[in-house]
Amino acid sequence: MYLKKLALAGAVSLLGSTAAFACSYENEVPLKSLSAGFEAWKAVTDAMAECGNFEAELDQEFRQKQPAAFEANPSLYQIGGVSNGTITPLLNAGTIRPLDDLVAKYGQNLNPNQLIRVNGQIMAIAMMVNTQHMMYREDILSDLGIEQPTSWGDVLAAAEKIQEAGVVDYPLGATMKSGWNLAQEFVNMHPGFGGAFFNADNTAAVNSDAGMKTLETMKALLDYTDPEVLVSDSTYVQQQFQQGKIAMANLWASRAAAMNDAAESQVVGKVKMSAAPVAMDGGAPATTLWWDGMVIASNITDAEADAAFRLMMEGLDEDMVTDNNDAAIWLVAGYQPGPLAEGAIATATATPAPPPYPSTTQMGLMHTALGNELPAFLTGERDAAATLAAIEEAYTTAAQEAGVLE
Amino acid sequence: MKSKTFFWFVAPSVLMMLVFIAAPLVSVLIQSFQVTQPVMQTVETETCTPGFLTQTCTTEIKTIPIIDEVTGKPQTTTEWVGFLSYQRVLQMDKVWAAISAGQWGDILQIDFWKALRFTLTFTLLTLPLVLGVGLAIALAVNSAVQSIRGPVIFISLLPFIITPVIGSLAIYWLFVGDGILTVALENILERDIAMFAQAWTIEILMYVFRVWNNAPFAFVIFYAGLQTVNMDTLESAVIDGASRLQRLRHVIIPHLMPLIIFIAIIHLMDVYRVFEEIVGFRSQAHVISLQWLTYDFLVPDDAGNRAISRASASAMLTMIGIVILLIIPLRRTWRDHKGGAH
Amino acid sequence: MASKAMRQSVGLRALSNGFLAFWCLLASFPILWITVMSFKAPRDAFAASAWDVITGPETRAAGNGLSVLDIIVGITVLYFTIRWAFGVLPGLVRQVFPSSLIVLGWLVGAAAYAIAFIIVFFGILPPVLGVLNGLLGPLGEPIIGLTTIHYYSVWVENAFFRNFLNSLLVTAGVVTISLTVGTLAGYGLARSGSNLAFWLLIIALVFRALPHSVLVAGYLPWFINSAEILRPLLGDISPTLYGQPWAIIAVLVAINQPFTIWMLRSFFQNIPSELDEAARVDGCSHFQAFRRVIMPVMWPGVITTGLFSFLLGYNDFLVTSLLLDAQNQTMVPAIAGYFNRETTTTDQVEAVAAAVSIIAPLFLLVMVFQRQIVSGLTAGAVKG
């Protein structure tokens, strides 16, 4: 890198931080936000920063700080980025404000679909949806004469054929890194078998027929995945795909764009997306629907809230979406679903539709219990029945400590 | 030294430790005997969330905390629960059941005991390895030609100084999937290897990483110690016809003994806290450590729940463990103190 | 060990040197390897074949690479840089700075040396070699892929220098305060034979053994709400501690105190107490004796202890990642951001480049201070 180029770039970046380029107004109230750090958040916060006086903190471990930071008075951040999981503690503690009046004032361009309502009040503005979808190497499947798989049964059969043909290292990729990712796989599959997580009295209900079937299916997948699957998160699966090591995976929709990134991928144009497979005939795709969006703190002045909402609208405008069309499945007006989004949209619009990930205190506890107890089953230390019992027991202990159960 | 002068010398240091270590520790101790819960209510809630194109609204009964009208924060109750949280961590009933059924292996399925098993074996096995490797490097450097000592010391210190998070990631990349060292091993052994697929290979990697990381510290201390070995004693040992090994055993090691104890104490404390390896090597499915267990209780889930009481109990248990481990090497310090008071 | 009787047999010497060579390879390989990775295009950096990672065919195909000439010149420059760092630089520093300012001298010398190296290696060499390569024809063709694009994105586009400055601030604070407070306490403990002193040391040791995650999670609510908590005491100036570098410095100093006072106590015990007793006979108070007699001779021990404090402050992840906000984040938690979020392979290579950037100053530091580490430890000959 030549010094001249460095100096030039430095000068440009200095200019960029002072002048407000693409913003329609100049923001004069100092504002801060705390959100997760993936591509879509980068796009939105960059668009917001163009208005000036705004600092974004992008941190994937934001959930550690967010509830406490919003509870401080005044709140340490005016704007928060949440998903349907992480909005729960903020709603429970009453640290985010209803946005109805602000939507009326600035929200003309918002889609009714974007307004997250709790008991009629608008509590958050959604910007994107995320879900899992089936990604597969079209070239391999058509070479071997395999139909596009629509159920997990099909996936296993196809995996068997690919294994026999030996065209890739492992037929399947799976995001089964122990902890949150692995638990999410169970959370996807279990409702697909018609299972519920809780009884009416908040006790756990996973020790059921659906629970057994879910575990069986998960274990069946292991025959076709990388033996190191218990350390593989979505980035790892994405890399395996890019390097042509796997042929199929049920992966997050936000990962689709990476398949066609010529700088990283060796399989550009060869990966196709379809709806997440169903677990049983006539069931919904075995996945959950997620949304990501923004909230505004209650412990700030109304003037700050006003400025914060206005800035949010600037970040969620059409220009931002046009510039970052493939970064997410946007809910914002102006989004043009490309071929990469086909699978996610097919998943979300399937009948019956997959359920949204439940935003409840119990679900958080259940997710942790699943993440801690499932690995012992997959490594073969414990059988399915004992695992389900252990999950229920771990959940019960945690729920009693959290005050959800007596 | 008069106690008043002594007080002023140590006051700033003691004050900082009181505020930032002792105070949190006392609060952890108290919390381990308490459970603080929000007061819950059940209400019917309608939630509308986006689908693609249209929204879906669901009405369900939700359990949510009651918000206090005065403070605007959730109401909470705090109860003294005795040893309940300790019981929840230790799960003694299961332990006794496993023992009476003769199924000793079942004990290791309980998180705490699993973590304790790994933490102890890890601490006790790496200790001789680190001491041995450190001493070996120190002896080798000490007998090397003067001109290469500088660069060799420099290179030897590298594993110790680099940021542990980065170090463990570097090792992880070398071995994960088709990492180049895994490929190299596969070529040598002519078989397919997945280092992160089973517990024992992960554990071996952890041992290797820890020895790689800590041996330089032992090395540099031993090397410094070797510079002060009394040459007269050594030479008279040579005249007496002591072999190299005998000289090592009877002259050098006794001379280094205080250093060995110093390193052992530091090592026990550092390794007992093992945590980076678990996160860096993503080994939660196979091996966990005591500090990781505490950390796992403390990290909030999506819904913001933390198991503070169980975390406090597990932290206190961890601390009791390290105190027990340290008693043996510290007995000597106590004797020194009694014998050689100034 | 020069005596004839001590000389090793040929076999033993070969064994000993072979072991050293093996250890040096082991010690440096992971670091060398991530350094190589950081200069390659993403597909090369994570390639399965080691040869591809080294030669970088994809990187070369994209037009970034080194020719034979580049490599020869580069290695020559590197060789002399390292030789002078061990040979010429120490001499220069000793000439220019008086011995009382030698620590400062080392720091300034090292920083100036690093800057000069960066200017020559990255500023002057590339354009000169660019012209020469053009003249040489086939010899000037790139044979090894190499790109500095990741460093460019990390330092310029992602403003990593801000994290670098934050790291400097936090580390400098930790080292100075830790040593000031620790030297006093270490001296007091070394000169007091009371049982109180002994138990203080033991309690400090137990404190050192505590799992940090417990302490840190305990701080978070207090730090975030400190403005509210302190308001009755301090009124409107009460600060929010969360995100404040000086609050982090205080925490790190406290966490590091046990080790510091143990270490320094050992050093002070090795300074004969007759020294300060003589000063006391001449009518000095303990503090005066400390300042006039002990301070001039304590530097080797203090520098060594200071290096350990430096490593702690510079390398800390747990405390800084939880208690600092984005604006004040130091380098180590900042790169964790690259790994944790939904990453792409490019992000990961950038993270590798950031990691190498974090290690580089440590490199320099050890290069400069390694003599002091050994001589400091020898002088103190740490006694447990």
Q: How confident is the model at residue A309 (pLDDT cuts 50, 70, 90)?
A: very high
CA C375/CA C372 separation, integer angstroms: 5
**What is residue C340's predicted lDDT score, i.e. its pLDDT?**
61
B-chain residue closest to A117, CA distance: B48
DSSP collapsed to 3 states, chain C: CCCHHHCCCHHHHHHHHHHHHHHHHHHHHHHHHHHHHHCCCHHHHCCCCHHHHHHCHHHHHCCCEECHHHHHHHHHHHHHHHHHHHCHHHHHHHHHCCHHHHHHHHHHHHHHHHHHHHHHHHHHHHHHHHHHHHHHHHHHCCCEECCCHHHHHHHHHCCHHHHHHHHHHHHHHHHHHHHHHHHHHHHHHHHCCCHHHHHHHHHHHHHHHCCHHHHHHHHHHHHHCHHHHHHHHHHHHCCCCCCCHHHHHHHHHHHHHHHHHHHHHHHHHHCCHHHHHHHHHCCCCHHHHHHHHHHHHCHHHHHHHHHHHHHHHHHCCHHHHHHCCHHHCCHHHHHHHHHHCCCCHHHHHHHHHHHHHHHHHHHHHHHHHHHHHHHHHHHHCCCC
Q: DSSP secondary-structure letter at B281? A: T
pLDDT tens string B70-98: 777 888 888 899 999 999 999 999 899 99
Of C327 and A288, more confident? A288
pLDDT of amino acid C109: 82
Residues in chain A closer than 8 A to B52 (CB atoms): 129, 329, 344-345, 348-349
Distances (CA, A) of B176 to A193, B181, B342, C348, C370: 34, 9, 55, 14, 34
- Region A171-175: mean pLDDT is 93
Average pLDDT on A247-270 reads: 88
Question: What was the pLDDT predicted at A58?
Answer: 84
A178 at C interface, C-beta within 8 A: no
Residue of chain C whose Cα is closest to the Cα of B144: C17
Q: What is the DSSP string of B194-218?
A: -TTSSHHHHHHHHHHHHHHHHHHHH
Residues of C in contact with B239 (CB under 8 A): 5
Task: Return the number of other C-beta atoms located less than 10 Å from residue C258's C-beta.
Answer: 24
b/e per residue, C361-383, with b = 16+ CB within 10 A? bbbbbbbbbbebbbebbbbbbbb
pTM for the whole thing? 0.87
* DSSP string over A92-150: HHT-B---HHHHHHHGGG--GGGEEEETTEEEEEEEEEE-EEEEEEHHHHHHTTPPPP-
Nearest Cβ partner for A1 among C152, C325, C345: C152
- The alpha carbon of B209 is separated from its chain's Cα centroid by a whole number of angstroms, namely 13
**Greater confidence, B238 or B341?**
B238
Q: Is C63 on the interface with A (CB under 8 A)?
A: no
Residue, of C87 and A229, whose pLDDT is higher: A229
Interface-testing mutation among C4, C20, C224, with chain B (most B C-beta atoms within 10 A): C20
Could you count the other beta carbons within 10 Å of the beta carbon of residue B229?
16
At B49, phi and psi to the nearest 5? -125, 155
Percent of chain C with pLDDT over 90: 11
Between residues B271 and C63, the one the model is more confident about = B271
CB contact under 8 A, B48 and A116: yes
At A109 the pLDDT is 87
Kindly state whether B168 is in contact with chain C, defined as any CB-CB distance less than 8 angstroms: no
Percent above pLDDT 70 for chain C: 93
Give the model's pLDDT for residue A5.
43
Q: pLDDT tens across A27-77, in order?
A: 889 999 999 888 889 899 999 998 888 988 887 778 888 888 898 888 889
Instruction: Find which of A201-215, A323-337, C286-300 is predicted with most confidence, using mean pLDDT.
Output: A201-215
Q: What is the CA radius of gyration of chain B?
A: 27
* C309-318 pLDDT, tens digit each: 999 899 888 8
Identify the pLDDT of residue C380. Answer: 63
Cross-chain CB nearest to B302 (options A88, A115, A404): A88
Tell me which residue has tokens 């992160």. Answer: B196
The percent of residues above 90 in pLDDT, for chain A, comes to 53
- CB contacts under 8 A, B 32-91 vs C, are none
pLDDT for the residue numbered B137: 94
B261 at C interface, C-beta within 8 A = yes
Res. B338 pLDDT band, cuts 50 70 90:
low
According to the model, what pLDDT value does residue C1 have? 44
Most confident of B109-113, C82-86, C271-275: B109-113
Whether the pLDDT of residue A4 is over 50: the answer is no
* Residue C3 reports pLDDT greater than 70: no
B203-242 residue pLDDT tens: 999 999 999 999 999 999 899 888 888 788 888 888 888 7
Most confident of B53-57, B176-180, C16-20: C16-20
Q: Is the pLDDT of residue A10 over 60?
A: no
Q: Is B4 on the interface with C (CB under 8 A)?
A: no
Alpha-carbon gap, residue A92 to A12, rounded angstroms: 45
Q: Position of tokens 């310029």?
A: C156
Q: Tokens for A205?
A: 């209900």
Is residue B339 pLDDT above 80, yes or no?
no
Q: How many CB atoms lie within 10 A of CB B124?
A: 13
Kindly state the tokens that stand for B212. Answer: 């790689």
User: What is the predicted pLDDT for the residue at A78?
Assistant: 94
C-alpha to C-alpha distance for A329 and A336, rounded to whole angstroms: 9
DSSP state, residue A327: G
Choice among A215-219, B230-234, C166-170, C201-205 with the minimum mean pLDDT: B230-234
Task: Give the per-residue pLDDT at C363.
Answer: 83
pLDDT exceeds 70 at position C216: yes
What is the rounded CA–CA span in Å between residue A115 and residue A33? 19
| pLDDT value at residue B186 | 86
